[in-house]
Structure 1
Amino acid sequence: MMWAVFLIIGFLVGLLVLSTGGGGAAIYLGLLTSVFGLAPAVAASTSLFTAFPSLVVGAYGHYRTGQIHFKVGNQMLLTAIPATVVGALLAPYIPNDIYTWIVALILAGLGVQVLIKRFIMTKAKAPRHQSAQAAIYGMLSGIMVGVAGLSGGGPIIAGLLVLGLDMLPAAATSSYVLVGTSLVGLLFHLSANNIDWQVGIWLMIGAVLGALCAPRLLMHVDPAKLNYYLKPFMGVLLIFMGVRMLF
């Protein structure tokens, strides 16, 4: 019956994270290590294997609804993909405690930015140097994917919100960017042959089913309410994830 447990977990995570612009690899990574006892290297590979197909399905669903902002998404991909390759090559040489601090500070800082944008700054025009900012967020995401097997959704969704996108197009554009970074990261992790196929396949099937539902669900949500509640939620969640990594 464990296959049913993995299927349900995959569905719920796929539905949740695709609705908020993530890839879910960080959640799968946490579950696989802390709940199911997989070794970190195996969990990292399995989490990317699980997340990638659902990201493809979710991105296609968002494309059909016309919510993806390809210009800013491509600006992020230009730095995210090379950073993923560099991160994957450097991963064996980075001490885990140093990497943990770096990622934690990045996540917490991005969360603060999202909250400032939501509660302090007025709705403004697109920020200056938008291309440079998008490139930086893409690079941060790529490093997270390459080094730790995360899908890198934190910096991407936070960056898109800081750059002025509303929650729905930000979630859609994030899923598009994460398809590219997760594919590159997955190829590197596949070469190590570390995937737990029995766990990964059932999680992946559930995640794909959740991803199929996410874009349709978002189309029936009031965009104003989605922005009002989810932007601060994403900011707090990013800060919590950063702090949680340190304690």
Structure 2
Amino acid sequence: MVWVSLLITGFLVGLFVLSTGGGGAAIYLGLLTTAFHLSPAVAAATSLFTAFPSLLVGAYGHYRTGQIHFRVGNQMLLAAIPATIVGALLSPIIPQKIYTWLVAAILFLLGVQILVKILIKSAQRPAKHKSLQAILYGIVSGLMVGIAGLSGGGPIIAGLLALGLDMVPAAATSAYVLVGTSFVGLLFHLSANNIDWSIGVCLMIGAVLGAICAPRLLAKGNPQRLNTIMKPLMALLLIVMGVKMVL
């Protein structure tokens, strides 16, 4: 029955995170380290393996709906890929204890970031796109992917919203960017042979099924209502998983 729970978990995470602009690797990483007790290095590689196919499927679905903003997406992607490579090269030389604390801190801060965005909503948005901001958000995202095995969706979706995109195109453009960064990060982690295949494959299949449904949910449903309910829950989950890793 473990594989059934993995499929359901992957489906729910893939459905939700691709509806809100993320890749889900942070949630997978937290689950793999806390619930399945994988080491941070193995969990990082497995989370990227799980998230990448669902990102690819979700991005294609968003492309078909015409919601991807390629100009800002390409600027973020061109900045994020070199940062991902640098992070992946640094990852093997980081001591295990520091690596654990680093991953825990990222999970915790991502959760706090989501809560702050919920509690402090600004009615004003920048009037026009700023390339430098897009590049900076891309660099932060790439480092998260390379070092910690996260998909890097937090800074990407936050940056896209700050640059003036509405929720649906921001989620679509984020998925497009994360396909590139997750692919590069996955290549480096694959070379280290750290993936737990038995867990990763089940989660990945569920995540792909969720990703197929996500663009349809955004196109026909009410993503703002979904965000209102699920975003605080996801934020609290990330915070709890980050704290649990170091206790």
Q: Please, what TM-score do these two structures have when normalized by structure 2?
A: 0.85
Preserved contact between residue 72 and residue 134 of structure 2 (Cα < 8 Å): yes
Partners of 2:143 and 2:186 in 1: CA distance? 13
In the other structure, the counterpart of 2:203 is 203
Pair 1:230-2:227 in alignment: yes
Deviation at 1:196, TM superposition (A): 1.0
Deviation at 1:37, TM superposition (A): 1.7
Partners of 1:2 and 1:245 in 2: CA distance? 23
Structure 1 residues 210-221: aligned runs within 5 Å? 210-221=210-221
Partners of 1:83 and 1:221 in 2: CA distance? 35
Pair 231,9 (structure 1): closer, same or farther in 2 beyond 3 Å: closer
Letter in 1 for 2:127: A
Partners of 1:139 and 1:183 in 2: CA distance? 16
Preserved contact between residue 114 and residue 231 of structure 1 (Cα < 8 Å): no
Q: CA-atom RMSD, angstroms?
A: 2.7
Preserved contact between residue 49 and residue 204 of structure 1 (Cα < 8 Å): yes
Pair 1:122-2:123 in alignment: yes
Q: How many residues align?
A: 241
Partners of 1:134 and 1:83 in 2: CA distance? 14
Using the aligned pairs only, state the percent identity.
63
Deviation at 1:5, TM superposition (A): 1.6
Partners of 1:160 and 1:240 in 2: CA distance? 23
Pair 7,240 (structure 1): closer, same or farther in 2 beyond 3 Å: closer
Query: Which deviations, in whole Å up to 9, do the C-alpha atoms of 1:159-206 show, x marking residues without a partner?
Result: 111111111111111100000000000000000001111111111111
In the other structure, the counterpart of 1:152 is 152
Preserved contact between residue 22 and residue 157 of structure 1 (Cα < 8 Å): yes
Q: Decide which moves more: 226-235 or 201-210.
A: 226-235
Pair 1:29-2:26 in alignment: no
Deviation at 1:234, TM superposition (A): 5.0
Pair 239,87 (structure 1): closer, same or farther in 2 beyond 3 Å: farther
Pair 201,233 (structure 1): closer, same or farther in 2 beyond 3 Å: closer
In the other structure, the counterpart of 1:176 is 176
Query: Which sections of structure 1, spanning at least 5 residues, go unmatched?
Result: none
Q: Please, what TM-score do these two structures have when normalized by structure 1?
A: 0.85
Query: Which deviations, in whole Å up to 9, do the C-alpha atoms of 1:20-60 show, x marking residues without a partner?
Result: 11111111111111111222211111110010000000000
Partners of 2:40 and 2:87 in 1: CA distance? 17
Letter in 1 for 2:44: A
Preserved contact between residue 154 and residue 238 of structure 1 (Cα < 8 Å): no
Partners of 1:83 and 1:134 in 2: CA distance? 14
Partners of 2:213 and 2:101 in 1: CA distance? 38
